[in-house]
Homo-oligomer: A and B are copies of this chain.
Amino acid sequence: MAAVMGDPGLSKLQFAPFSSALDVGFWHELTQKKLNEYRLDEAPKDIKGYYYNGDSAGLPARLTLEFSAFDMNAPTPAHCCPAVGTLYNTNTLEAFKAADKKLLLEQAANEIWESIRSGAALDNPVLLNKFLLLTFADLKKYHFYYWFCSPALCLPESIPLIRGPVGLDQRFSPAQIQALERAYDDLCQTEGVPALPYFLIKYDETMVLVSLLKHYSDFFQGQRTKITVGVYDPCNLAQYPGWPLRNFLVLAAHRWSSSFQSVEVLCFRDRTLQGMRDVTHSIIFEVKLPEMAFSPDCPKAVGWEKNQKGGMGPRMVNLSECMDPKRLAESSVDLNLKLMCWRLVPTLDLDKVVSVKCLLLGAGTLGCNVARTLMGWGVRHITFVDNAKISYSNPVRQPLYEFEDCLVGGKPKALAAADRLQKIFPGVNARGFNMSIPMPGHPVNFSSVTLEQARRDVERLEQLVEGHDVVFLLMDTRESRWLPAVIAASKRKLVINAALGFDTFVVMRHGLKKPKQQGAGDLCPSHPVAPADLLGPSLFANIPGYKLGCYFCNDVVAPGDSTRDRTLDQQCTVSRPGLAMIAGALAVELMVSVLQHPEGGYAIASSSDDRMNEPPTSLGLVPHQIRGFLSRFDNVLPVSLAFDKCTACSSKAKFTYSEMRES
Binding site for B on A (CB under 8 A): 40, 91-92, 94-95, 138-141, 320-321, 325-326, 328-329, 331-333, 335-336, 339-340, 342-345, 369, 372-373, 375-378, 391-393, 395-397, 399, 401-404, 406-407, 409, 423-426, 502-503, 564-569, 571-572, 574, 576-579, 581-582, 584-586, 588-589, 592, 611, 615, 619-621, 623, 626, 630-635, 637
Cα–Cα distance between A139 and B574 once the two chains are bound (Å): 14
B373 touches A140 (CB 8 A): no
A329 touches B635 (CB 8 A): no
Option from B339, B376, B423, B588 in Cβ contact (under 8 Å) with A403: B423
Distance in angstroms from A317 CB to nearest chain B CB is 16
Cα–Cα distance between A333 and B393 once the two chains are bound (Å): 5
> Which residue on B lies nearest to A344, using beta carbons?
B502
A-B contact pairs, 12 of them (CB 8 A): A40-B569, A92-B567, A140-B393, A141-B391, A325-B403, A329-B403, A340-B569, A340-B574, A402-B424, A503-B619, A581-B581, A621-B632
A395 touches B425 (CB 8 A): yes
Known A392-B328, A579-B585; judge A569-B339 contact (CB<8 A). Answer: yes
Option from B406, B581, B621 in Cβ contact (under 8 Å) with A329: B406
Cα–Cα distance between A401 and B344 once the two chains are bound (Å): 27
Cα–Cα distance between A586 and B631 once the two chains are bound (Å): 11
A340 partner residues in chain B, CB cutoff 8 A: 502, 569, 574, 576
Known A377-B577, A582-B582, A589-B576; judge A333-B392 contact (CB<8 A). Answer: yes
Option from B140, B392, B403 in Cβ contact (under 8 Å) with A391: B140
A621 partner residues in chain B, CB cutoff 8 A: 631-633
- Kindly list 13 other residue pairs between chains A and B, CB separation below 8 angstroms, not including A94-B564, A328-B406: A328-B392, A329-B406, A336-B396, A339-B569, A342-B569, A344-B502, A373-B578, A402-B423, A577-B588, A585-B585, A620-B632, A620-B633, A621-B633
A426 partner residues in chain B, CB cutoff 8 A: 403
Cα–Cα distance between A326 and B375 once the two chains are bound (Å): 30
> Which residue on B lies nearest to A328, using beta carbons?
B392
B373 touches A581 (CB 8 A): yes
Cα–Cα distance between A423 and B406 once the two chains are bound (Å): 11
Option from B328, B406, B581 in Cβ contact (under 8 Å) with A325: B406
Cα–Cα distance between A403 and B425 once the two chains are bound (Å): 6
Known A139-B568, A344-B569, A572-B140; judge A396-B375 contact (CB<8 A). Answer: yes
Copies held by the complex: 2
Known A92-B566, A572-B336; judge A376-B392 contact (CB<8 A). Answer: no
Option from B407, B424, B633, B635 in Cβ contact (under 8 Å) with A633: B635
B585 touches A589 (CB 8 A): no
Known A578-B588, A631-B620, A635-B635; judge A329-B404 contact (CB<8 A). Answer: no
Distance in angstroms from A509 CB to nearest chain B CB is 13
Cα–Cα distance between A314 and B209 once the two chains are bound (Å): 110
A404 partner residues in chain B, CB cutoff 8 A: 423
Most buried by B among A139, A336, A579, A633: A633
Cα–Cα distance between A304 and B130 once the two chains are bound (Å): 100
B332 touches A391 (CB 8 A): yes
Cα–Cα distance between A635 and B138 once the two chains are bound (Å): 35
Cα–Cα distance between A426 and B392 once the two chains are bound (Å): 11
B423 touches A397 (CB 8 A): no
Distance in angstroms from A28 CB to nearest chain B CB is 15
Closest 5 CB pairs of A and B: A620-B631, A376-B577, A578-B585, A332-B393, A332-B392
